[in-house]
C-alpha cells in the first residue's frame, strides 16, 4: 500500500514538469511558409473529331440506301488518305419517317466519328461530305495526342514555381527554404474541347459556307494548374 502512495506522489509532483516539457516542445516546432504556385500552357490541337451522320433518303422514287452511302463515305475518306482506323461507328439506328406513299418504310440513320489532325484536312472532309450528300456533320471535340505529357509538365512547372516563390520571399528576410511539409494540387483548368469553328448541320449549310482551310480556326487548348505547398524555414 505504501508503494502505491509513493508512486502516486511521484506522478503528482512530476505532472507540472511534464506539462512544461510539452509546452517547450510546442515552441520548438519548425517554422514554415505557405505559398501558391501556378503554371499554364497553350497547345494547338492535333486531334479533331468530326461526327458525320448518313441518312437514307429518296431521290425521286429511287431510294438511296445506307449500303450505298456507306460505300461512298468510306471511299471518300480513303481518297483523302484517312486511315480506316481513324473512322469509327458512333451509333446506328432506324428513323421511322412517314411518307404518304409508303408509311411502312423505315429510313436508317448511321453516325460515324472521323479523326483528322489539322484544319486543312477538316476542310477537305467537309467538301467530300457535300459531294456524297451527307445528312449532317459537326466538330465533336478537339484534343492533342500528347495531352497527358503536357499536363504532367505544367504540374511540374507549378510545383517548381511554389519553391521558387518560397525561396525569393524568404531570401528577402535572410532565411532559406527547407524541406516541403505539405503539397496539394489546388486549382486546375483544362479546355481540350473548346473550339471556334462553326457547326454545319445540313447539306444546304455545307454548300452555303463553301469551306476552305482559312474558315476554320481552332482555339488553342489551355492547361493551367495551381499547387499549394508548405516549406520549412531553415
- Give Cβ neighbours of residue 132 (< 8 Å, ≥ 6 apart): 69, 72, 73, 76
Q: Which of 141, 161, 189 is the last residue of a domain?
A: 141
Q: How far apart are CA 113 and CA 90, in angstroms?
A: 6
φ/ψ (deg, to 5) at 14: -80, -20
* d(C-alpha 176, C-alpha 178), whole Å: 6
Strand bridging mode 107-116 / 47-55:
antiparallel
What pLDDT does 34 receive? 97
Give a yes or no: residue 202 inside a domain.
yes
Least Cα distance to 48 among 175, 201, 216, 185 occurs for 216
The pLDDT profile of the chain, 234 residues, written as one tens digit per residue, is: 545 554 444 444 544 544 444 444 544 578 999 999 999 999 999 999 999 999 988 888 888 899 999 999 999 999 999 999 999 998 655 444 444 445 456 778 899 999 999 888 998 999 999 999 999 999 888 999 999 999 999 999 999 999 999 999 999 999 999 999 999 998 787 775 544 444 455 444 444 445 454 455 677 889 999 999 999 999
Find out whether 233 and 34 touch, Cβ atoms under 8 Å. no
Contact predicate 230/180, CB 8 Å: yes
Looking at the fold, whether 84 and 119 belong to one and the same domain comes out as yes
206 occurs within a structural domain: yes
What CATH number does residue 222 fall under? 3.30.110.170
Whether residues 111 and 149 fall in one domain: no
How many domains would you assign to the chain?
2
C-alpha cell read off for 130 = 457535300
The answer to whether 193 and 220 have CB atoms below 8 angstroms apart is no
Domain enclosing residue 151, as ranges: 30-46+144-234
What is the distance between the alpha carbons of residues 67 and 232, in angstroms, rounded to a whole number?
Answer: 69
Residue 107 has what DSSP assignment?
Answer: E
List phi, psi (to 5°) of 63.
Answer: -90, 125
The pLDDT value given to residue 188: 85
Q: CA-based angle 40:43:44, to the nearest 5? A: 160
Reduced to 3 states (helix: H, G, I; strand: E, B; else coil), residue 58 is strand
pTM (whole model) above 0.95: no
Q: For residue 117, is it within any domain?
A: yes
In a domain, 169, yes or no: yes
- Whether 23 maps to a domain, the answer reads no
Confidence (pLDDT) at 217 = 63
* Domain edge (last residue) among 141, 161, 188: 141
Q: Are 94 and 106 in contact (CB under 8 A)?
A: yes
At 154 the pLDDT is: 96
Contact 161, 39 (CB under 8 A): yes
CB atoms within 10 A of CB 89: 9
Rounded to whole angstroms, how far apart are CA atoms 215 and 128? 16
Amino acid at each position: 500500500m505504501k508503494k502505491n502512495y509513493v508512486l502516486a506522489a511521484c506522478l503528482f509532483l512530476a505532472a507540472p514538469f511534464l506539462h512544461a516539457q510539452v509546452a517547450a516542445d510546442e515552441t520548438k516546432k519548425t517554422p514554415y511558409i505557405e505559398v501558391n504556385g501556378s503554371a499554364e500552357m497553350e497547345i494547338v490541337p492535333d486531334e479533331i473529331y468530326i461526327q458525320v451522320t448518313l441518312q437514307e433518303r429518296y431521290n425521286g422514287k429511287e431510294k438511296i440506301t445506307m449500303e450505298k452511302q456507306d460505300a461512298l463515305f468510306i471511299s471518300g475518306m480513303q481518297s483523302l488518305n484517312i486511315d480506316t482506323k481513324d473512322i469509327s461507328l458512333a451509333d446506328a439506328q432506324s428513323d421511322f419517317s412517314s411518307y404518304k406513299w409508303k408509311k411502312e418504310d423505315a429510313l436508317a440513320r448511321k453516325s460515324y466519328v472521323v479523326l483528322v489532325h489539322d484544319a486543312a484536312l477538316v476542310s477537305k472532309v467537309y467538301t467530300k461530305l457535300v459531294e456524297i450528300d451527307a445528312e449532317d456533320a459537326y466538330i465533336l471535340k478537339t484534343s492533342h495526342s500528347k495531352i497527358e505529357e503536357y499536363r504532367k509538365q505544367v504540374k511540374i512547372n507549378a510545383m517548381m514555381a511554389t519553391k521558387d516563390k518560397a525561396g525569393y520571399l524568404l531570401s528577402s528576410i535572410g532565411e532559406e527554404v527547407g524541406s516541403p511539409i505539405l503539397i496539394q494540387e489546388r486549382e486546375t483548368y483544362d479546355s481540350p474541347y473548346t473550339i471556334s469553328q462553326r457547326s454545319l448541320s445540313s447539306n444546304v449549310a455545307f454548300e452555303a459556307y463553301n469551306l476552305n482551310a482559312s474558315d476554320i480556326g481552332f482555339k488553342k487548348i489551355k492547361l493551367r494548374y495551381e499547387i499549394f505547398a508548405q516549406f520549412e524555414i531553415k
